Chain A
Amino acid sequence: MFEIITPLFLSLIVGGVFVGIVFGAIPGMTATMAVAVSLPLTYSLGLENGLALLLGLYVGGISGGLVPAILLGIPGTPSSITTTFDGVPMAQRGEGEAALRIGIVSSLVGGLISLLILWLFAPTLADFAIRFSYVEKFLIIFFALSVMAALSSDMLLGIFSGVLGVFVSLVGVYDISDGGNGELRLVPPGTEYWLDGGFALLPVLIGLFGLAAILEEAERGVPSAASSDEIAIGKSSSFSFSVFRGQTLNLIRSSGIGTFVGILPGVGGSAASIISYTNAKTFSKHPERFGKGEPAGIMASEAGNNGLTGGALVPLLSLGIPGDSTTALLIGAFTLQGIQVGPLFIGNNPTTWNAMIFAMLIANLVMFAMMYFAIRYFALVVTVPKHILFPVILMMCVIGAYTINYGIMFDVWTLLIFGVFGWLAVKLRLEIAPFIIGFILGPSAEVYFVKSLESFGTLSIFFTKSWIAVVLWILIAGSIAGSIAMSRKKAGQVADPS
């Protein structure tokens, strides 16, 4: 275990957290983008060191979003949206630094609780999942897609996006190494040379999360960065730990909600923070103070969104299903090193598993130390001009796409295609997270589906194979029924606002 803890390993975590906070703190840039553009660097670092960098970026990126959320009222990442509700009123009262420190401490609590759940829960789930046959594995993917679609803002469009992701992932050859027949499908004539292996995962991800985000910013005219005069950080002496008195339950509940939301595939940090915030308000003795600068609101939001970090790794490391878009990118890091994540991962790679847990722990502590003691300097990050940052990020996107498969120019064009698609998808109200998860899981779903039918020769096997299959069908039906009930309730509220 301790042989992995080298000065390089620790420096990569520290560097990753630092860069992640910077990315998170700049509105329009996210933890996902930070991980996307840094992936090619992991090539020569090896798996454990590469993961140290990426996990540092992940934790830093999620945490950094609170800086502009509190100081400017603009969430640096979507998961910080509820931090603005109480952070901005506090900043307006001259308590900006206090609000930031409340958020930082809550982020640490959320991150550590979710890490503990990851450490305890992922190996157990993986041990259980080892017993799954192709049938149960297919149903798990089906369940993941149905949960994701059910929790989308529009269920029908969510399902469509997920299925579209699966469809796009099937472009190319039905790989012989997966038991396929080596024949091409869904490839337009004349494009066989480029699309033989389909669209590579990482250029697709870099396009969707790098280029698409910059196109969205360009569409809005690339708003200027804030000037230092606009930053309402307030007095350094206004923070005291006594503000957390009586908030233990709020912190634990919000961290738990964040972790649980993280475990659900494809549901992002914004859902984690919104649900945590709503619960904190509901159970508060003073719900009327929420939205007016109530510290408990910042605690709930930040503990919730950082709770996501460990939770999202649970399905990734135990089932091979990413919990959110950033952990989907981590699959890329594993792929680069030739390692497949799934039920066998933890048992077969104990060193990597320990390295990940240790890296997450250190990343959370480093994030806390950096942000708590240097928050005044990180606050200045929001003033970095975007006209300098965005071109450099675009260039890094190109590097990432090109080097991922050792120099294939078609991957760079894939980046452009999916960058434009990502921008267009938002306009068409398609959901990117289900699309990505569908794209990642599509090839496995195909293998499990076809092999199940080849082995058993009947569709009824998906219902009768084992009690696990029955439970999974109940869960699938429950998630869809729950979503329909929720959308009907929402429609009823719209029709009758009284």
Chain B
Amino acid sequence: MNITIDFETSHLVFPTVIGVILAILGLAILVRDRRRIAAAGSYWRETLGWMDKKRFFGTLVLTLIYFSLMVPVGNFWPNTGYGFLFCSVPFVFLSGLLFMHDWTLRGIIPLAIVAVVGPTFVWWLFTYPLFLTLP
């Protein structure tokens, strides 16, 4: 079978081949696992049932807020990396509190120290010795 590849459309050749293979495989999975797929609703209800929703969704929300705020905060002090530093300290502290099971002063004090020292050390390491600009 002879094939001529037009250079102008050559970027679509391989993605089309892979796309077709992916669709065939997807269809095969759909046919083979139809019962399991049909029961997906109960599977996800069960998963959500035993999942620690507070910690899982809390991690996602905190991470989203952390990522979203880093650049806007950093824009107040351009090219200093303060956006990373000022967002990381509360993020490490709050996610640590989220993961902690018993909120005791003995547990919170070391966490607070790590939340301040950890990001500050990383910010210093990347800003000065490694010369990599953070947001």
Q: Which residues of A contact B60 (CB under 8 A)?
A: 215, 420
The chain A residue with its CB closest to the CB of B25 is A160
Given that A185-B11, A186-B15, A387-B107 are contacting pairs, would A402 and B134 also be in contact in the complex, using a CB cutoff of 8 Å?
A: yes
Q: Which residues of A contact B122 (CB under 8 A)?
A: 395-396, 399
Q: Which residues of A contact B132 (CB under 8 A)?
A: 40, 43, 403, 406-407
The chain A residue with its CB closest to the CB of B119 is A395
> Which A385-406 residues sit within 8 Å CB-CB of chain B?
385-388, 390-392, 394-396, 398-399, 402-403, 406
CA distance A385 to B135 in the complex (A): 29
Find out whether the CB atom of A391 lies under 8 angstroms from the CB atom of B21.
no
The chain A residue with its CB closest to the CB of B44 is A427
Which of A44, A186, A391 has a CB less than 8 Å from the CB of B115? A391
The chain A residue with its CB closest to the CB of B57 is A218
Given that A445-B14, A453-B13 are contacting pairs, would A392 and B118 also be in contact in the complex, using a CB cutoff of 8 Å?
A: yes
Shortest beta-carbon distance from A141 to chain B in Å: 12
Most buried by B among A395, A413, A450: A395
Which of A221, A406, A407, A450 has a CB less than 8 Å from the CB of B13? A450
Which of A214, A398, A403, A446 has a CB less than 8 Å from the CB of B67? A398
> Which B118-135 residues sit within 8 Å CB-CB of chain A?
118-119, 122, 126, 129-135
Contact with A along B1-18 (1 / 0, CB 8 A): 111110110111111011
Find out whether the CB atom of A221 lies under 8 angstroms from the CB atom of B110.
no
Find out whether the CB atom of A416 lies under 8 angstroms from the CB atom of B64.
yes
Is A190 part of the contact surface with B, judged by Cβ < 8 Å?
A: no
Find out whether the CB atom of A163 lies under 8 angstroms from the CB atom of B25.
yes
Shortest beta-carbon distance from B63 to chain A in Å: 6
Q: Which residues of B contact A457 (CB under 8 A)?
A: 2-4
Which of B1, B18, B32, B98 has a CB less than 8 Å from the CB of A163? B18
Q: Which residues of B contact A219 (CB under 8 A)?
A: 51-52, 55-56
Contact with A along B59-73 (1 / 0, CB 8 A): 110011011001100
Q: Which residues of A contact B45 (CB under 8 A)?
A: none
Shortest beta-carbon distance from A467 to chain B in Å: 22
Is A230 part of the contact surface with B, judged by Cβ < 8 Å?
A: no
CA distance A377 to B4 in the complex (A): 66
Which of B52, B111, B131 has a CB less than 8 Å from the CB of A44? B131
Q: Which residues of B contact A453 (CB under 8 A)?
A: 3, 5, 13
Which of A395, A403, A406 has a CB less than 8 Å from the CB of B92? A395
Q: Which of A128-136, A166-174, A315-323 contacts B (4 or more CB under 8 A)?
A: A166-174
CA distance A181 to B119 in the complex (A): 44
Q: Which residues of A contact B131 (CB under 8 A)?
A: 44
Which of A181, A390, A450 has a CB less than 8 Å from the CB of B8? A181
Contact with A along B83-104 (1 / 0, CB 8 A): 0100010011101111111000
Shortest beta-carbon distance from B46 to chain A in Å: 11
Given that A44-B131, A163-B21, A221-B55 are contacting pairs, would A450 and B110 also be in contact in the complex, using a CB cutoff of 8 Å?
A: no
Q: Which residues of B contact A185 (CB under 8 A)?
A: 11-12, 15
Q: Which residues of B contact A215 (CB under 8 A)?
A: 56, 59-60
Is A449 part of the contact surface with B, judged by Cβ < 8 Å?
A: yes
Which of A181, A224, A458 has a CB less than 8 Å from the CB of B11? A181
Which of A40, A156, A224 has a CB less than 8 Å from the CB of B32? A156
Shortest beta-carbon distance from A336 to chain B in Å: 12
| Given contact pairs A224-B101, A445-B14, A457-B4, a sample of 12 additional A-B residue pairs in the complex whose CB atoms are under 8 Å apart | A44-B129, A160-B26, A218-B52, A222-B52, A386-B99, A392-B92, A398-B88, A403-B132, A407-B134, A446-B14, A454-B10, A459-B3
**Residue contacts A-B, CB under 8 angstroms, 15 given:** A40-B126, A44-B130, A44-B131, A163-B21, A180-B11, A218-B99, A219-B56, A221-B52, A224-B101, A386-B99, A398-B67, A398-B88, A407-B135, A445-B14, A454-B5
Please give the residue numbers on chain A whose beta carbons come within 8 Å of chain B beta carbons, in ascending order: 40-41, 43-44, 156-157, 159-160, 163-164, 166-167, 170, 173-174, 180-181, 183-186, 211, 214-215, 218-222, 224, 385-388, 390-392, 394-396, 398-399, 402-403, 406-407, 409, 412-413, 416, 420, 427, 442, 445-446, 449-450, 453-454, 457-460
Please give the residue numbers on chain B whose beta carbons come within 8 Å of chain A beta carbons, in ascending order: 1-5, 7-8, 10-15, 17-19, 21-22, 25-26, 28-29, 32, 47, 51-52, 55-56, 58-60, 63-64, 66-67, 70-71, 84, 88, 91-93, 95-101, 107, 110-111, 114-115, 118-119, 122, 126, 129-135
Closest 6 pairs between A and B when the two form their complex, measured CB to CB? A174-B11, A221-B52, A387-B99, A446-B14, A387-B100, A391-B92
